[in-house]
Structure 1
Amino acid sequence: MSTSEPSSTPTPAARGARRRRVPIIVSLVLLLPLAALFAVVMQRQYVYDNNIRRVREVFPAEWDRPAKVAGEARNWLIVGADRRPGEGGHQRSDSIMIAHIPADRKRIFLVAVPRDSYVTITGHGRDKINAAYAYGGPRLLVNTVEKLLKVRIDHFAALDFNGFVAMSKALGGVDLYVTREAHDPANNVTWPQGRVHLEGERALLFVRQRYGLPGGDFDRIKRQQAFLRAMAEKAISGGTLTNPIALDGFLQALTSSMTVDSGVSMGTLRSLALELRDVRGGDLLATTLPVAGTPTVHGSSVVLLDDAATAELATAIRTDTLDRYLADRGGQHDISLVR
């Protein structure tokens, strides 16, 4: 008796099982790269988060602070210095800015506070505002700014200026237009009129120059604001976001030079980045606290603020109406052009 050969035709059940395996295999082929990419992103996020240094007790006691602003507007106090807070003690801040992020998230406003502004510092009398940072670190500086402007600071960030070197290199440098030739006698560098390319140490020299500029510290403020805007434009539109290596280099340099208050997490920064995803370099507007004069006090040059005009600007920050304030007063300076 001959035995029948098994049929080579799949049964309906086998065909159904095969059909079910096909989309599973296709899904795995499609999802595994995404899963791998997600794992890489999460791993890099861990690295970036560990790069950032955080300081505690940045903010004064609640009873000694201005009221919280209604709505979603936020104010960041940003300090630029030669090193991070806590490295060898406190130091005088080289630049002080308030980054006001309006509720609609359509723009970013940079309000510069001249570092030589002659103000009242709790426990130390009248002195230059950057001395508050040296006397009591971020907490005393936040307290001084809040008392000066009656504006609540939501977050604090300090940038080590040396990070500018690595950040500019990661971006391949940025270009700015210098409106007139300027010589830096301290470093024997001459910046010609016209477009200049800033990368690495040259970028640091450019944003740090004070002597040899017609407007002194005020021109340096404009240079720093212009450099920040140029970096933002390059990071957004220069292909950095689509170049994983360049993006990683930039984020490594940025996070390695940042110190923030303990309330800032990577989630905070990620959410803020998503909220500001439509902002471009031209949406970064800048101004400076109004100045009444630059006299000499106790043998040192100081900046006297115009109290009435400063109060108006502070009200615009507090009420989230800086856009209207700048439009009405022409207080915005073009930070794409520097001296």
Structure 2
Amino acid sequence: MYARQQGPQAEPHGSDLLVLDDATEPRGLPAVVARRRRGRRVLAGVLVVALLLIGATATALFVATESLGNNVARVPDVFGDLDAAARPADSPALTFLLVGSDSRADAPTTGAGATADGGSERSDVLMLARVDPARTGASVVSIPRDSWVDIPGHGENKINAAYAFGGPSLLVRTVEQLTGIRVDHLAVIDFAGFRAMVDAVGGIRVRVAEATENEGVRFHQGVNELDGAAALAYVRQRHGLPRGDIDRAARQQNALRALLDKAASAGMLTDPVPLYRLLDAVSRSVSVDDTLSNGGIRELGFEVRGLRPSGLTFVGAPVRGLGREGDQSVVYLDDARSSELWNAVQTDALAAYTRRNPTDTLGETPP
């Protein structure tokens, strides 16, 4: 693994994602890769990938083939046991619950290549990604895994315990109860899958506010370049960070943003060979709920083709403080501001919320 300190460099521009060459189709490659004239749909798909960590990465390619869609493993009956009458109302927006599982197995526990049992782990990463009704803007809200909340049927506990107590269905129910926002789809990726995705783009670059160390990896103040293993150490770290789990959630969002930046700056969206490799790695690394068919992913690509990098907002659920419940370190959410945040997400008024609460947004240099 490596974490290399970088000297001053130009930061990648999100706008680079918008420039795709539709002029010439490469020869000698599968037709599914050669369809570069579908550039804007590739853009939409990759934005969904980076935001949602699911097989929607392959959206553009599914127009021509089902092969990558068939790589994506499905999680059965995520929504089947939920009481439809008790759930939040449907919305014209589209909401994904993104889950990073807490398995430390070397073998993948999610995705089509899963060989290890990941059924009992807790969720380590929780993000609610919501694409607005116009499909031109999206918000990604991190919920600290140690947030002390009510888990239906189990009383108060850390929110990540819901995954261990009742699997994806209970986690969805817990998040919907907390936020009042209906979850349309679920995407799960484990650490092995995240590592594979980072390596598929050739590593990511992140800024670190102060030098830290975790799992044998030293992170320098400033820009660090991370391979998949070092990126895992980066997003896993909690001890040694000023705000513990809160800062870890910010790092996880930062890594997600860096993945998108790298895909853009490395020209992966215009070079069909690395693009296909990225899409193949992502499609093999994730699991999604079984209501999201290949056709559903294809339709999603068409729906979000107007989404632009400037329309993406990363936010953290507001926190009142840290504390302990028994022998557990926990995070207490700020109930009043959280209610304001969830209402802003539901009503597509997040820009006004972030102006009032700028510290809740993801900065350029998380701890």
TM range (shorter): 0.7 to 0.9
Q: Note closer, same or farther for the CA distance 1:38–1:251 as it changes in structure 2 (3 Å cut).
A: closer
Mapped pair 1:57 → 2:77: yes
8 Å contact 1:118–1:127 — kept in the other structure?
yes
The offset of 1:45, in angstroms, is 4.1
Q: Which AA in structure 2 matches 1:167?
A: M
Distance in 2, matches of 1:313 and 1:67, equals: 18
Which stretch shows the higher mean deviation, 202-211 or 85-94?
A: 85-94
Separation (CA, whole Å) in 1 of partners of 2:123 and 2:290: 20
Cα gap change, 1:88 to 1:64, in 2 (>3 Å): same
Indicate the SS of the match to 2:269: helix
Indicate which of 351, 358, 363 corresponds to 1:330. 358
Contact residue 285 and residue 332 of structure 1 kept, 8 A? no
**For structure 1, which runs of at least 5 residues remain unmatched after alignment?**
1-29
1:179 to 209, 229, 253: 209
Q: Which runs of 5+ in 2 are unaligned?
A: 1-23, 35-60, 104-108
Question: TM-score, structure 2 length as denominator?
Answer: 0.76
* CA 97–309 in structure 1, closer or farther in 2 if over 3 Å, else same: same
Name the aligned partner's letter for residue 110 of structure 2. Answer: R
For the 8 Å contact 2:187–2:286, the answer to whether it is kept is yes
- 2:295 aligned with 1:246: no
**Do the aligned partners of 1:90 and 1:136 also contact (CA within 8 Å) in 2?**
no
Q: Which residue of 1 aligns with 2:318?
A: 290
Distance 1:163 1:90 in 2: 17
Q: Paired residue for 1:5?
A: none
**1:291-306, aligned counterparts within 5 Å?**
291-306=319-334
Closer, same or farther: CA 150–39 of 1 in aligned 2, 3 Å:
closer
The superposition leaves residues 61-102 of structure 1 with CA deviations (integer Å, 9 ceiling, x where unpaired) of 201211112xx3111111011333993423110011100111
Residues 274, 336 of structure 1: alpha-carbon distance in 2 compared, 3 angstrom cutoff: farther
Indicate whether 1:80 and 2:100 are aligned. yes
Q: Percent identity?
A: 41
Q: 1:273 to 1:199 in 2, by over 3 A?
A: farther
Aligned residue in 2 for 1:194: 222
| 2-structure distance, mates of 1:335, 1:191 | 18
Matched AA of 2:241: L
Report the equivalent of 1:27: none
1:77–1:99 Cα contact (<8 Å) kept:
yes
1:236–1:280 Cα contact (<8 Å) kept? no
User: Deviating runs (4+, > 6 A) in structure 1?
Assistant: 33-36
Match of 1:22 in 2: none
For residues 144 and 239 of structure 2, the distance between their equivalents in structure 1, rounded to whole angstroms, comes to: 15
1:273 to 301, 320, 330: 301
Secondary structure of the residue aligned to 1:296 is strand
1:231 aligned residue (252, 259, 272): 259
| Counterpart position of 2:18 | none
User: Aligned partners of 1:157, 1:287: CA distance in 2, in Å?
Assistant: 19
Aligned: 1:98 with 2:92 = no
CA distance 1:319–1:147, shift in 2 (3 Å): same
* Alpha-carbon distance between aligned partners in 1 of 2:232 and 2:64, rounded to the nearest angstrom: 27
Q: Evaluate the alpha carbon distance shift between residue 237 and residue 190 of structure 1 in structure 2; reply closer, same or farther with a 3 A threshold.
A: closer
Structure 1 pair 236–266 and aligned structure 2 pair: CA distance change class (3 A): farther
- How far the C-alpha of 1:337 sits from its partner, in A, is 1.5
Letter in 1 for 2:231: A
SS of aligned partner of 1:241? coil
Contact map agreement 1:232 1:281 (CA 8 A) in 2: no
3-state DSSP of counterpart to 1:63? helix
In the TM superposition, residue 159 of structure 1 has moved relative to its aligned partner by 1.4
What secondary structure sits across from 2:66 in the alignment?
helix
Equivalent pair of 2:110/2:193 in contact (CA under 8 Å): no
Q: Which residue of 1 aligns with 2:57?
A: none
* Post-superposition offset of 1:44: 8.3
Q: Would the alpha carbon gap of residues 203 and 307 (structure 1) be closer, same or farther in structure 2, given more than 3 Å must change?
A: same
Q: How far is 1:112 from its partner?
A: 0.8
Cα deviation for residue 231 of structure 1 reads 0.9
State the TM-score, normalized to the length of structure 1: 0.82
Write the distance in 2 (CA, Å) between the matches of 1:248 and 1:335. Answer: 31
How many angstroms does 1:132 deviate by? Answer: 0.4
| Residue aligned with 2:249, SS | helix
Q: Return the index of the structure with the highest Cα Rg.
A: 1
Quote the offset at 1:34 in angstroms. Answer: 11
CA shift, 1:111, in A, is 0.7
- Are 2:154 and 1:124 aligned? yes
Identify which of 115, 119, 134 aligns with 2:164: 134
Q: Is the 8 A contact 1:167 1:249 kept in 2?
A: no
Partner of 1:47: 67
Query: What is the match of residue 152 of structure 1?
Result: 182
How far is the alpha carbon of 1:180 from its aligned partner? 1.4
Separation of aligned partners in 2, 1:214 and 1:53: 37
Q: Mark the CA change 1:181 to 1:105 in structure 2 (over 3 Å): closer, same or farther.
A: same
